A and B are shown apart, each in its own frame.
Chain A
């Protein structure tokens, strides 16, 4: 499985469900296009659900960071939901735990935007 990216609305929050591998090439591109598409539509509250992400490489991490800055530069915020142990470890190694708001419950994450 490479990657599946789908988005849904919960109130005024766009929840992006990501499954599979976020790696250099198709995976990272699919995520980038989804986030940029939401920003282009004026969405300012974006929650990335990474619960089904099995693998993420340095390019995938770079895409998370790029998404974070793209949304922030447009006056919004991007937060993370349901990190697997492996993704948690990567964010610890890269110190990005200090950058992202991270949640393990969707209701709490959605409420945090208001």
Chain B
């Protein structure tokens, strides 16, 4: 099955590049328009996290993008080379006292738009995020 395996620069252009690559696979896999939008949102937010919060725009660090069609959908893995962070340290963006915070909603949106979300710290450095989206009739 078709796949993408590439290293991206730690800049915002990589967000568009990753979106285009993954959407190409998703379209070929047969995702309908509205699901493509959700995949696009999830991938963009994940790459932004890797570039901005993980690699902190470092020209010396890459974002590793792997995406592949699976039998019933699409699997995407994004790995950065940053210091990693604890998911539990992110304030709940849905808590009343946090609703007016400007940032902190990225992971909430990723989780809303994919079927599986897994984030883990790598040793000695980096964060790996795995996303899985199933075709509508197969989940």
Contacts and interface: CB of A to CB of B under 8 A. Distances in A.
Nearest to B51: A24
Contacts of B101: 62, 65
B56 interface: no
B112 A93 contact: yes
Contacts of A105: none
A65 B100 contact: yes
A99 B37 CA distance: 25
A59 B94 CA distance: 16
B109 A96 contact: no
A59 B103 CA distance: 7
Contacts of B100: 65, 68-69, 99
Contacts of B41: 57
Contacts of A58: 45, 48, 103, 105-106, 108-109
Interface string B46-64: 0010001000000000000
B15 interface: yes
A62 B108 CA distance: 13
Interface of A: 23-25, 55, 57-59, 61-63, 65-66, 68-69, 86, 90, 93-96, 98-99
A66 B99 CA distance: 11
Contacts of A93: 108-109, 112
Q: Which of A23, A63, A95 has the most CB of B within 10 A?
A: A95
A57 B44 contact: yes
21 contacts: A24-B12, A24-B15, A24-B52, A57-B109, A58-B45, A58-B103, A58-B106, A59-B48, A59-B103, A61-B105, A62-B101, A62-B102, A65-B101, A69-B100, A86-B37, A93-B108, A94-B93, A94-B109, A95-B99, A98-B99, A99-B99
**10 A-B pairs closest in CB distance:** A62-B102, A58-B105, A58-B106, A66-B102, A93-B112, A95-B94, A62-B103, A25-B12, A58-B109, A94-B105
A21 B119 CA distance: 27
A55 B37 CA distance: 9
Nearest to B41: A57
Nearest to B49: A58
A25 B94 CA distance: 24
Contact of B48 (A57, A90, A94): A57
A57 B52 CA distance: 14
